[in-house]
Chain A
Amino acid sequence: MTETLPQFPQVTQLAIPLFIGAILAEIAFMRFFHRRGEFELRDTVTSLLMGVGNVAFGILFGFISYGVLIWFWQFRLLDLGFAWWVGATAFLLDDLRYYWYHRFAHRVRWFWAEHVNHHSSQHYNLSTALRQSWTGHFTGAVTLQIPLVLLGFHPAFIAFVYGFNLVYQFWIHTETIGKMPAWFEAVMNTPSHHRVHHATNARYLDANYAGTLIVWDKLFGTFVPENEADAPRYGIVRNLATFNPLRVAFHEWVAMLRDFVRPGLNTAQRLQYLFRPPGWSHDGSRQTSEMIKSEYVARHPQEAGKPGLPVIGQSRVSLAPGE
Chain B
Amino acid sequence: MSLEILVAMVVAGLAIAIGAVYLAGLSKPARLADAGQAKARFALDYPREVVADCRLTAARDAAFLRLESGRIGVVAAFGAKFVTRLVESQQVQVGERNDELDLEMGDFTFPHPRVRFAKSNDTALVASWMKGNAR
Q: Chain B interface: which of A12-20, A68-76, A95-103, A274-282?
A: A12-20
Is the Cβ of B24 less than 8 Å from the Cβ of A31?
yes
Is the Cβ of B16 less than 8 Å from the Cβ of A20?
yes
Residues of A within 8 A of B45 (CB): 237-238
Given A241-B113, A254-B108, the answer on whether A42 and B17 have CB atoms closer than 8 Å is no
Is the Cβ of B26 less than 8 Å from the Cβ of A38?
yes
Encoded as 1 (CB less than 8 Å from any A CB) or 0, chain B from 31 to 71 comes to 00000000000001101100000000000000000000000
Is the Cβ of B20 less than 8 Å from the Cβ of A24?
yes
Given A24-B20, A27-B21, A295-B47, the answer on whether A19 and B13 have CB atoms closer than 8 Å is yes
Residues of A within 8 A of B9 (CB): 13, 16-17
The interface size bin for chain A is 35 or more
Q: Chain A interface: which of B74-82, B94-102, B124-132?
A: B74-82
A265 to B24, CA, bound (A): 52
A44 to B109, CA, bound (A): 18
Q: Tell me if B118 is interfacial: C-beta within 8 Å of chain A.
A: no
Residues of B within 8 A of A41 (CB): 18, 21-22, 27
Is the Cβ of A14 less than 8 Å from the Cβ of B81?
no
Is the Cβ of A242 less than 8 Å from the Cβ of B109?
yes
Residues of B within 8 A of A23 (CB): 17, 20
Q: Whole-angstrom distance from the CB of B92 to the nearest CB of chain A?
A: 15
Residues of B within 8 A of A42 (CB): 27, 79
Is the Cβ of A14 less than 8 Å from the Cβ of B14?
no
Residues of B within 8 A of A30 (CB): 24, 26
Given A27-B24, A241-B109, the answer on whether A13 and B17 have CB atoms closer than 8 Å is no
Is the Cβ of B22 less than 8 Å from the Cβ of A247?
no
Residues of A within 8 A of B85 (CB): 238, 241
Residues of B within 8 A of A52 (CB): 10, 14
Is the Cβ of B24 less than 8 Å from the Cβ of A13?
no
Is the Cβ of A242 less than 8 Å from the Cβ of B110?
yes
Q: Whole-angstrom distance from the CB of A299 to the nearest CB of chain B?
A: 6
Residues of B within 8 A of A239 (CB): 78, 81, 83-84
Residues of A within 8 A of B18 (CB): 41, 44-45, 48
A27 to B24, CA, bound (A): 7
Is the Cβ of B21 less than 8 Å from the Cβ of A44?
yes
Is the Cβ of A295 less than 8 Å from the Cβ of B48?
yes
A233 to B41, CA, bound (A): 12
Is the Cβ of A14 less than 8 Å from the Cβ of B1?
yes
Residues of B within 8 A of A38 (CB): 26, 80
Q: Tell me if A240 is interfacial: C-beta within 8 Å of chain B.
A: yes
Q: Whole-angstrom distance from the CB of B73 to the nearest CB of chain A?
A: 13
Residues of B within 8 A of A240 (CB): 78, 83, 109-110
Q: Whole-angstrom distance from the CB of B1 to the nearest CB of chain A?
A: 5
Q: Whole-angstrom distance from the CB of B84 to the nearest CB of chain A?
A: 8
Residues of B within 8 A of A24 (CB): 16-17, 20
User: Which of A17, A241, A247 has a CB less than 8 Å from the CB of B83?
Assistant: A241
Given A247-B108, A255-B108, the answer on whether A43 and B79 have CB atoms closer than 8 Å is yes
Q: Tell me if A122 is interfacial: C-beta within 8 Å of chain B.
A: yes
Residues of B within 8 A of A247 (CB): 108-109, 111
User: Which of B16, B24, B48, B80 has a CB less than 8 Å from the CB of A123?
Assistant: B80
Among A17, A30, A40, A299, chain B packs the most CB atoms within 10 A around the CB of A40
Q: Whole-angstrom distance from the CB of B107 to the nearest CB of chain A?
A: 8
User: Which of A44, A123, A242, A254 has a CB less than 8 Å from the CB of B17?
Assistant: A44
Given A23-B17, A27-B20, A247-B111, the answer on whether A13 and B44 have CB atoms closer than 8 Å is no
Given A13-B1, A241-B76, A251-B109, the answer on whether A39 and B13 have CB atoms closer than 8 Å is no
Residues of A within 8 A of B44 (CB): 233
The 9 closest A-B pairs by CB, nearest first: A241-B110, A122-B81, A40-B80, A40-B79, A20-B13, A241-B83, A39-B26, A41-B27, A240-B109
Q: Supply 22 A–B pairs (Cβ within 8 Å), ascending by A.
A: A16-B10, A17-B9, A17-B13, A19-B13, A20-B13, A23-B17, A41-B27, A42-B79, A43-B79, A44-B18, A44-B21, A59-B3, A123-B80, A238-B45, A239-B78, A239-B84, A241-B78, A241-B83, A242-B110, A242-B111, A243-B79, A244-B111
